[in-house]
A and B are shown apart, each in its own frame.
Chain A
Amino acid sequence: MTDPQLQSITVNGVPIQWNPEGKGLTFFGVDSIILWKNPSLISILEPLKTELGEELYSLIVEYEASQGTYEDYYSMVNSLGKTFEEGFLNWGKAVSAAGWGVFSIVSIDWKQKEAIIQIENPWEMTALKVKTLTRPIPFLSGKVSGIFGHAFKTNCRSQTLEVMQNKDGSYFVTVKIYPSQETLESALLQLHNRRKTSGDLQLRAMNSALQRSQHRLLEVAAGSGVFVWESDIHLNIIYSTPGISNILGIPEAKILGASILELLHPSEIDEFKKRLDFLNTGSDPFIDLRVKLKAEKQEYVWIDLNLRHRHNFSGHLSGYIGWGRDVTNQIQLENQVEAERLRSAHASKMASLGEMAAGIAHEINNPLSVIQALSWKLREDIESNEISTESLKKTLHEIENTVKKIAGIISGMRAFTRSGENDSFVRQSIKKIIDETLIYCKARFNNSQVSLDISISNPEIEINCRPIQIGQIILNLLNNSFDAILNSSEKWIKLQVDEQADTITIRVTDSGKGISKEIAEKVMLPFFTTKDPGKGTGLGLSISSNIAKAHGGKVQLDPTSTNTSFVITLKKDPKKR
């Protein structure tokens, strides 16, 4: 301390000494440093406070500040003043030189061992962002409760009574010191325990919540037919969620250790092995397979099985892992829907078949009448010996031709009533297609006095198509027109064929006055119909549209036509790009 190099000053009786060689400073003879309140202290303490929570932070700081206050008290009563009060105030002056704040005593009750002091501009108020006012200045509170505790010779705690702010922004904090059974240490311990217990409780609550949700998850998974499984490298199952035994009706114990190959329906094993090869050779990253697994109650269940490689920590292949989902019900439903769709399509076909029947009957009755008449006449002529070989030959030839005509109608009908969707594309005259189609509707149109006008710009046009399917589209449009105008006063249908460079258009227009916008938007949708129940299935236009698409064409409603008009556009050669 007597180093001549030291520079020193005394503020409020406190010696402050600097060593200019960079060996620091002493304050009250104790090694010290000077920090800025802001930012240095703030940036050190603020995060601590946030991290610990205000309550714990305050208690720790208050407790630590109260430790070692006996030295302060000792110097107060021995060197700083004649009385404790004087010593305390002098101590206060000294620490105020270090920027702690200015201390004053409001009252001391030695009997009750209580004191009220005031601190002006306590450093903690200006250094830290004070959020609660219950313990705004824990360091200073700790100091004073420690010092007064020694003076009162009892354990003391402190309480902030009031915080006031002056116009210049500086603070006045009033602190009451009182005797307390509870030491700061015990309060700190209690808080520690409380926090620890609450932490444990929280952990336990979280854990049980986790278990509950895991249980729920497993239950939901099992209920919805989903399971997760894991196998070793030889496909022997080493883990699975309970779902799999529910689905297969096989106890879990039997599943664990079993090979996946044993669970597969025998018909699936080859395909599964093939896919496993793809996975193992790296050409597939995982397997997604719909397979049949053997089941207890029925022959098999359908499972969507997923499977990928499982690796151990060192990255080596250790087996397989994946999930499975019971899709038996889904497949049954899909099959039902498909069957329903086929039934509808069939019903639609039968409906139009019924409509056609009258026409076909008419078409066949006529040639049958011809044969009947010709053969009757032959017999008459033979009986009356009036027949020449020449006329016999002629009549027989006529009969043969008529039979051929009937055969042609029947074969056309058989062809027409099958779907034709697997037929190959052939070049066919559009006129021939139309003529053969008209057989099925001409009679109906005649019966109901619907006039049909056919115009083909070039009768030679041929297109590459499945003729039966094109006939079906045309018939569908004609029948739709017929149903639409049947009860109108004006009844006509026009069928017009025109040719473009690579396409042809077949336009079916009827005397109807067009279709409303709402309906026009829906006419192409499957199952949409405006016909009476039982009359239409609502599939006609959507099927027609699909057929046209398969021919590189389309079926459209012409919105510009004043009469209802549908246009079929077809490529002359769909295979040519």
Chain B
Amino acid sequence: MNHISMSKSPGTLLIVEDEEGLKKVLRDLLKKTCPRIEVASNGKEALEVIQKGEIDVVVSDLNMPIMNGLELLKNVREAGLEIPFIVLTGYGDKEKAIQALRLGATDFLDKPFDSAEFIQVVKKAAELTQAIREVAEEVEGLYAASKISNEKRIRLKEMKKSILMMRETSKIYDK
């Protein structure tokens, strides 16, 4: 974990998309931003990759066979993983976007999306991961250094959660 937290790079990105052509193009677009990119063709494959624990940002299509994007998101959140999760929705399908946000998506993009915006959103999400990691590191560090009481430790954990929530909420209301 240490090497990531210290680095300014956005870490490992996972692209989940069933359509081969689009998967390849998305990968090409993000190549410069994210040096490490993993791909999956459906939610089930993606979940397997995520469970290995090395993914920093997920970009996922919603409409996929076997396990769709919403199902994947639900699984990720239920597993307590707080990694940024960006969903790609069909143009005009606001209902799906809202559903995704309620399930804990970080952001959404309507297809066909503007490539620059897409890269920007992914970048921001990666930065969020970075920030979370930094806070976590800090808390861990403080905890280790001061050997604080159990009570204070719990309070610090709550603080960490509040920061995360504030960040995510601000993201949603920006839209």
Chain A contact residues, CB within 8 Å of chain B: 358, 361-362, 365-374, 376-377, 398, 402, 442-443, 445-447, 449, 451-452
- Among B22, B62, B64, B88: residue with most chain A CB under 10 A: B22
Residues of B within 8 A of A398 (CB): 21
Quick check: B25 and A370 within 8 Å, CB to CB?
yes
Residues of B within 8 A of A449 (CB): 67-68, 71
Quick check: A368 and B111 within 8 Å, CB to CB?
yes
Residues of A within 8 A of B116 (CB): 376
Residues of B within 8 A of A377 (CB): 25, 28-29, 115
Within 2-54 of B, Cβ neighbours of A (below 8 Å) are at 19, 21-22, 25-26, 28-29
Q: A450: nearest residue on chain B (CB-CB)?
A: B65
Render B63-79 as a binary contact track against A, CB cut-off 8 A, 1 for contact.
11111100100000000
Contact (A369, B64) CB under 8 Å given A358-B90, A361-B93: no
Residues of B within 8 A of A358 (CB): 90, 93
Could you say which of A368, A373, A451 contacts B115, with CB atoms under 8 Å apart?
A373
Quick check: A373 and B63 within 8 Å, CB to CB?
no
Residues of A within 8 A of B67 (CB): 449
Could you say which of A371, A372, A402 contacts B114, with CB atoms under 8 Å apart?
A372
Contact (A370, B113) CB under 8 Å given A446-B63, A446-B65, A447-B63: no
Residues of A within 8 A of B68 (CB): 446-447, 449
Q: A359: nearest residue on chain B (CB-CB)?
A: B63
Contact (A362, B115) CB under 8 Å given A367-B21, A373-B25: no
Bound complex: CA of A402 vs CA of B21, how far in Å? 9
Bound complex: CA of A367 vs CA of B19, how far in Å? 9
Can you list 15 contacts pairing A with B, beta carbon distance less than 8 Å? Answer: A362-B63, A365-B91, A366-B22, A368-B111, A368-B112, A369-B25, A369-B111, A373-B25, A373-B28, A374-B25, A376-B115, A377-B25, A377-B29, A402-B21, A442-B65
Q: How many whole Å from B85's CB to the nearest CB in chain A?
A: 18
Residues of A within 8 A of B22 (CB): 366-367, 369-370
Q: B65: nearest residue on chain A (CB-CB)?
A: A446
Contact (A451, B66) CB under 8 Å given A367-B21, A371-B112: yes
Q: How many whole Å from A379's CB to the nearest CB in chain B?
A: 9
Residues of B within 8 A of A361 (CB): 90-93
Quick check: A365 and B28 within 8 Å, CB to CB?
no
Q: A374: nearest residue on chain B (CB-CB)?
A: B25
Given contacts A362-B63, A369-B111, A452-B65, 8 further A-B contacts (CB under 8 A): A365-B90, A365-B111, A370-B22, A373-B25, A373-B28, A376-B29, A447-B63, A449-B67
5 closest A-B pairs by CB: A376-B115, A368-B112, A365-B111, A369-B112, A373-B25
Q: How many whole Å from A478's CB to the nearest CB in chain B?
A: 14
Render B95-120 as a binary contact track against A, CB cut-off 8 A, 1 for contact.
01000000000000001111110100
Bound complex: CA of A230 vs CA of B66, how far in Å? 78
Quick check: A373 and B64 within 8 Å, CB to CB?
no
Residues of A within 8 A of B91 (CB): 361, 365
Q: How many whole Å from A515's CB to the nearest CB in chain B?
A: 27
Contact (A366, B28) CB under 8 Å given A446-B64, A447-B62: no
Bound complex: CA of A162 vs CA of B112, how far in Å? 122
Bound complex: CA of A376 vs CA of B114, how far in Å? 8
Q: How many whole Å from B46's CB to the nearest CB in chain A?
A: 14
Q: B67: nearest residue on chain A (CB-CB)?
A: A449
Bound complex: CA of A451 vs CA of B67, how far in Å? 9
Residues of A within 8 A of B21 (CB): 366-367, 370, 398, 402
Q: How many whole Å from A261's CB to the nearest CB in chain B?
A: 63
Q: How many whole Å from A393's CB to the nearest CB in chain B?
A: 16
Could you say which of A372, A443, A451, A452 contacts B112, with CB atoms under 8 Å apart?
A372
Bound complex: CA of A131 vs CA of B158, how far in Å? 123
Residues of A within 8 A of B112 (CB): 365, 368-369, 371-372
Residues of B within 8 A of A447 (CB): 62-63, 68, 96
Quick check: A372 and B65 within 8 Å, CB to CB?
no
Residues of B within 8 A of A362 (CB): 63, 90
Q: A444: nearest residue on chain B (CB-CB)?
A: B63
Render B142-172 as a binary contact track against A, CB cut-off 8 A, 1 for contact.
0000000000000000000000000000000
Residues of B within 8 A of A367 (CB): 21-22
Q: How many whole Å from A85's CB to the nearest CB in chain B?
A: 130
Contact (A366, B65) CB under 8 Å given A358-B93, A373-B25, A377-B29: no
Bound complex: CA of A366 vs CA of B67, how far in Å? 18
